[in-house]
Structure 1
Amino acid sequence: MGTVFLAHHLSTDPSALSPFALKVVDKSLSFAADADRRARWEISVLSRFRLHDPLHPFLPSLLGSSENADILCWAVPYCPGGDLNVLRHRQNDSVFSPSVIRFYLAEIILALQHLHGLGIVYRDLKPENILIQQSGHVTLTDFDLSRSLTPKKLDPDPLHVACSEPETDSDLSRTFTRFVCPRKKKNVNNQKGLRKAKSARVSPVSRRNPGSFYERSNSFVGTEEYVAPEVVRGDGHEFSVDWWALGVLCYEMLYGKTPFRGKNRKDTFKRILMMQPEFMGKQPNALTDLIGKLLEKDPTRRLGYRRGASEIKEHEFFRGLRWDLLTEVVRPPFLPSKDETELTEEVKKGGIDIRDYFDKLKAPSSPLWSPSLDEQRHNVSLTEF
């Protein structure tokens, strides 16, 4: 929905020692209204992160934002290591070892735990949205598809008691209590406002509305191969969709492909609803057990549904992990190379006007504008914006 520039401040940082990523939305494009709405939402989410001191180590900070009649832009820290998808393809057989998967999953879980603690469901977890910082640690990016979920107003019920699972091993993980543990299950069946997937109306596994302490979203959003079954069915969804996507991500890191990809969109959705993940050539172990429990079709039975990240952190795959020491790991599995972290002299001296950049892209002699063009123009600095 926009373009990302690599930028530095010419007056305060002439040597480009502190470059940053500048995300820009052109208001004149045909889809500008939707892009503007999503951009403003992302800025608001990033602004909420700044309210917490210290900032969460695996989530980005908003460095600033600005707009005029033509563009809306906001700045976030530059991550020179690229994204997790690029990093995976650099490995032998394009897969990670279980120990590397364990490290990255742990950091992603802490980031999601903090998001959920703020009442935000991410809804766009995938390798392309997991960036590698200069330190080698991860950070999530792109929050335009996220959404705030508000607690329901529950009728007083003496059979419901609040359950809180105290955190015992992480200063980074914000303690939060959001689930109610019922002694007696309620049958909640509110089907109002459900949206159906246009091209994936296969027979639903379940149409029931599981009881929840949070209002659920009925939006159909996300990347096809990472969409949870409840989203495809149009049942409404909440935080558990992020744990499903974590299972898909974990599978892809282990096997080099996602578990439910089909011949087309409809086939992919059918597989998501009906097919179980295949663990090829691997003996059952703690990692495959974790993936299987995250890829549970019924969100109420999915690992992480009742107690959030605390449940997942207690899984056997993470046995012995010191969650509170993750940020102190000075040698993560991979560190950005020197070539990736240094800007060229040409970039330091140069600069472009963003308005001219977009005007040239839309000129008749230019190729059709596409986000892929950004890859050819990522090493620029900006003198005006």
Structure 2
Amino acid sequence: MATSPESHLHNLRPIKVLGNGAMGTVFLVHNNLTNSKFALKVVDKSSADSNSDRRARWEVSVLRQLNQQPHQFLPSLIAVFETEQIIAWAVPFCSGGDLNVLRHRQNDGVFSPAVIRFYLAEVVCALKHLHSLGIVYRDLKPENVLIQSSGHVTLTDFDLSRALAGKKMKTLIMSEPEMNKRRRKFMVKLNKVKTARVTPMTRRNGSLSGERANSFVGTDEYVAPEVVRGDGHEFAVDWWALGVLAYEMLYGTTPFRGKNRKDTFNRILTMPLKFTGKPTVLTDLITKLLDKEPTRRLGYGGGACEIQEHPFFNGLRWDLLAEVVRPPFIPSRDDGELTCKVDCFTVTEYFKKLRQVQSPLEGKSPAKDDCGYNVSFTEF
């Protein structure tokens, strides 16, 4: 991986921790050379997750591809850094937070249909571009839909995505006994899994080979039935997740959430979709996206174009969507400098400081930065 000549880790001052994920830590950093701010995702090579290095390199490769074929609702790659201890890459900072935070700020914790229409439309455009590149996203959820300073969305986190050679899934013919056997095998595995986000190695529109992915990845409440069954999957899993996203934006909860992950997966496979109130064009869209049979799911045959033609989006100027100057929410300002700061000079010093703290697995409390964020390498 090449290091940007304009930027180096020693010139990056952490402002705050934006979040900790299954793979690494995301910082808001200030570049002392260019006097600019951006988000920096850092993955520790000594992570307990042996797949983190591979997933990090894959995400960087996706971002490099997006630099070559950019899209207004997808991130660009600003720079990549690598040392013996860490891999880090910089992307634009989205000052509006994510869709989950924004929803909880609403008085009743849900969005109006008009707001849902706007955000869904932009997500559809982002997925359409990824699919045109042969990439299935596989991790759509509110936390991964960020709000740019302009008020428009951008998707984030591509470590669970997958490149597929073909753009159309061939129909898989399977006998009922074989299907039941697969389900039984899956439920045995399910009881052994404890994490909410399953990593690729522990199991998350029209053309040639119809290649499928068989890995079990994603976030529990957003996982498509074909992934749960282990049938093999392709781009239709993203349209299922879009339906779950729309439902959560409308009702404030996901449609198949259970008492635990086993119950959640059982509901995804068997429970009918339920709505409150009278049917609307939005509930019709959600119903068509949440068809448990992928070959009947909206978007399976015609991709994003099929979804864009649904009556819920009637009258929408798709070609002018990025030019909307008054999205539903526009961040008032970039408040990064107004938040508590990380008490160290550089990103490398921050991680060096963390390595000096005893692991919480040895009976100690998790390390905390000076803003009070829990940070532990065992979580990566």
| The two structures share one fold, judged by TM-score above 0.5 | yes
The answer as to whether partners of 1:4 and 1:374 remain within 8 angstroms in 2 is: no
In structure 1, distance between residues paired with 2:327 and 2:112: 13
2:135 matches 1:120: yes
Matched residue of 1:8: which SS? strand
In structure 2, distance between residues paired with 1:137 and 1:237: 29
Aligned partner of 2:67 in structure 1 is 50
The alignment's C-alpha RMSD in Å is 2.8
- Which consecutive unaligned segments of at least 5 residues does structure 2 have? 1-22, 193-206, 375-380
Mapping for residues 226-241 of structure 1, pairs under 5 Å: 226-241=222-237
Aligned partner of 2:321 in structure 1 is 326
Which letter does structure 1 place at the counterpart of 2:275?
F
1:68 deviation in Å?
A: 1.0
**TM-score, normalization by structure 2:** 0.79
1:142 deviation in Å?
A: 0.1
In structure 2, distance between residues paired with 1:84 and 1:224: 18
2:262 matches 1:262: no
2:46 matches 1:28: yes
Q: Give CA deviations for 1:54-103 in whole Å, capped at 9, x if unaligned.
A: x2000000001010101110000000000000000000210000000000
2:39 matches 1:9: no
Which letter does structure 1 place at the counterpart of 2:186?
K
Q: Give CA deviations for 1:179-215 in whole Å, capped at 9, x if unaligned.
A: 59xxxx9765699xx88352279xxxxxxxxx98521
Aligned partner of 1:72 in structure 2 is 87
Aligned residues: 326
**TM-score, normalization by structure 1:** 0.78
| Residue 216 of structure 1, aligned match among 208, 212, 217 | 212
In structure 1, distance between residues paired with 2:60 and 2:294: 30
The answer as to whether partners of 1:200 and 1:270 remain within 8 angstroms in 2 is: no
- Which consecutive unaligned segments of at least 5 residues does structure 1 have? 152-177, 202-210, 379-385
| Residue 96 of structure 1, aligned match among 86, 107, 111 | 111
Q: Give CA deviations for 1:215-249 in whole Å, capped at 9, x if unaligned.
A: 10110000000000000001000000000000000
Of all paired residues, the percent bearing the same amino acid is 63
Structure 1 residues 344 and 276: alpha-carbon distance in aligned structure 2, compared to 1, 3 A threshold? same
In structure 1, distance between residues paired with 2:270 and 2:370: 38
Structure 1 residues 275 and 345: alpha-carbon distance in aligned structure 2, compared to 1, 3 A threshold? closer
In structure 2, distance between residues paired with 1:111 and 1:22: 22
Structure 1 residues 87 and 40: alpha-carbon distance in aligned structure 2, compared to 1, 3 A threshold? same
The answer as to whether partners of 2:67 and 2:77 remain within 8 angstroms in 1 is: yes
Aligned partner of 1:317 in structure 2 is 312
In structure 2, distance between residues paired with 1:247 and 1:333: 20
In structure 1, distance between residues paired with 2:24 and 2:94: 18
Which letter does structure 2 place at the counterpart of 1:199?
L
Aligned partner of 1:148 in structure 2 is 163
In structure 2, distance between residues paired with 1:375 and 1:231: 39
